Amino acid sequence: MKTTFNVLGVAGSTRKGSFSGQALKITLEYAKKQGAEVRLIEAGLPLYDPNAQASKEVEQAAEAVGWADAIILASPDYHGSMSGALKNFLDHFYEEFAGKLFGYIVASHEKGLTVMDQMRTAVRQCYGWSMPYGVSANGGQDFSGGEINARLSKRLNMMARDLVVYGRLLNSQFVRDLGSTEQDTFAAHYRP
Ligand SMILES: Cc1cc2nc3c(=O)[nH]c(=O)nc-3n(C[C@H](O)[C@H](O)[C@H](O)COP(=O)(O)O)c2cc1C
């Protein structure tokens, strides 16, 4: 049985010094302390085109998504929505998200709740599981001189802990169900 637990962070902002990106990096460090293996990738991929052959970047992203047991999506709040780059990243995948738990980080001047709702909707549509809460980060209030305040740090640490603990449970059951012959399970749809 696999003992490692892999967490992939997807950075949805291409802005230099992005707050969502910084919060994502910190969360991945916390996940590492929980015993997870971690990787970070940028969401910027070629615009999804169903007719196009997968580019090298898309293949690399697909390898990383396949490697992941849980995924953290980090997005800026753009007009109450996730960034176009992140939505485009998600459009490249579908079945790969099943059996994985997703965590959400949003950098916003508000709470970014509509952004999290959209990320949850897209993930649910691909049969991924979502954490019941997300973490919003406000650049002006939570960051100072490359540091984050204690409130944000505590929330990110909690999310990393919960993602690893609950993600392991969900994923290990999904993998067990995949390998069994039981028919009436959600995982049965993903058997080759
Ligand atoms: C095109 C655009 C749209 C934005 N729309 C919103 C918005 O609707 N609500 C909000 O609170 N902030 C909005 N912002 C502010 C960003 O969410 C904020 O600067 C955030 O820190 C960006 O994330 P990042 O630091 O990870 O790049 C917008 C910024 C841009 C550039």
Residue with CA closest to ligand 1 atom 31 = 78
When pLDDT is cut at 50, 70 and 90, the band that residue 2 belongs to is confident
Q: Is the CB of 136 under 6 A from ligand 1?
A: no
pLDDT tens digits for 54-94? 899 999 999 999 999 999 999 999 999 999 999 999 999 99
Sign of CA dihedral 24, 47, 116, 174: negative
Going from the Cα of 126 to the center of ligand 1, the distance in angstroms, rounded, reads 26
Ligand 1 pocket test target in 24, 79, 106, 119 with most atoms within 8 Å of CB: 79
pTM of the entire predicted model:
0.97
Separation between Cα atoms, residue 86 and residue 77, nearest integer Å: 11
Half-sphere exposure of 62 (CA within 13 A, CB side): 12
DSSP-assigned beta bridge partners for residue 106:
75, 136
Task: Give the atom of ligand 1 at the shortest distance from the alpha carbon of 22.
Answer: 26
